Copies of this chain bind each other. A is one copy, B any other.
């Protein structure tokens, strides 16, 4: 079939079946998630076989070692997927929740009720486990989903799509509620992004290049974050031992993720004391420092920072460090160079904590805690479908509720307008 027809037909079908999953009872939805968990368990060997095809093709294409690693479905990763399905089944169903109720003077009772968004398109890169994670979250929240994974994971994604569909069919719902785009052509993404008649929302997950490609080509609303340039500001009234612990954790614990710190801002009055304290640990961990002039005076090993470093998401053991004269300069720096992802202030001062939390309008702001907490699961959302730094719909880490919207449900007894 021609590519455009194929993708359009997938989208049309998705819209067609979306009311079926929107109305499905929680018990049926949970049954499906358990069905899929069993099917994955039973078919683990077959999944690994398909995955092996991807790995061999990847090696032939000369994919890098980390990319091949991300692509691989080990027994442990398969077990994690199965656990994930069961965890999502255990989460409360957001659909049908009444979030607010009020009564009007004329007796009308106005409610806001959560309903699914409809059809969601997820576009992602090499990790094939995203297929099951994303499908389970969209499914539980009552949405139909169209999944388009990385071309290098096509065989793995296809088999998991098939297993999910089998799990759906077992409970009597239409399998097209979850569809994997079965072709690797990049043009398929472009066609998908034009289906605004059928698809309600696009969530891209991956590197900045993919996200920009999706945003620039989409006629459908896109929730995304380009990158995480996260900041920690250590105030002159900080508990410096706590500041060391947090600044170390935010940079070193897992440097390759979006909520790791990329720039450390330090108040001038404590810089001379604090920077050597933290640098002792950073040096041991192999963190490269790119510092401003004052930083370099205090830490002679630091390289010279250039302006681009302040915009950079290093995703590595590299840190930009700037000494600032006060909290206002710190906030201005974040406003100029930040990516609206996550920022933390370390201070014992009540006023300054409040000022920072109020004035910094990134999607997550913290006081006296690591930026690494900015994560749907860690914050208690039960799961995370992505992080959104677009100020629309659901800002920051997105869980199941972010895949719903609220309709007005109004109970009357004959009210008319005069």
Residues on A facing B (Cβ under 8 Å): 19, 22-23, 96, 102, 104, 108, 110, 113, 115-118, 200-201, 215-216, 219, 221, 239, 242, 245-246, 248-250, 253-254, 335, 357-359, 361-370, 372-374, 378-380, 390-397, 405-418
Contact = CB atoms under 8 A, between A and B. Distances in A.
29 contacts: A19-B359, A23-B359, A104-B380, A108-B379, A115-B361, A116-B361, A117-B391, A117-B392, A200-B390, A200-B391, A215-B219, A242-B413, A242-B414, A245-B414, A249-B417, A254-B417, A362-B407, A364-B408, A365-B408, A365-B409, A366-B409, A366-B412, A369-B410, A369-B412, A369-B416, A391-B405, A392-B392, A395-B405, A395-B407
Q: How many copies does the complex hold?
A: 2
A407 B363 contact: yes
A405 B396 CA distance: 10
Name A's interface SS. Answer: mixed
A268 to B, nearest CB: 23
A93 to B, nearest CB: 13
Contacts of A113: 357
A197 to B, nearest CB: 11
B408 A396 contact: yes
Contacts of A357: 113, 409
A367 B406 contact: no
Given A23-B359, A358-B23, A395-B406, A367 B416 contact: no
Contact of A361 (B242, B246, B335, B407): B407
B358 A96 contact: yes
Given A245-B416, A410-B367, A108 B373 contact: yes
Contacts of A358: 23, 96
A61 to B, nearest CB: 33
A407 B364 contact: yes
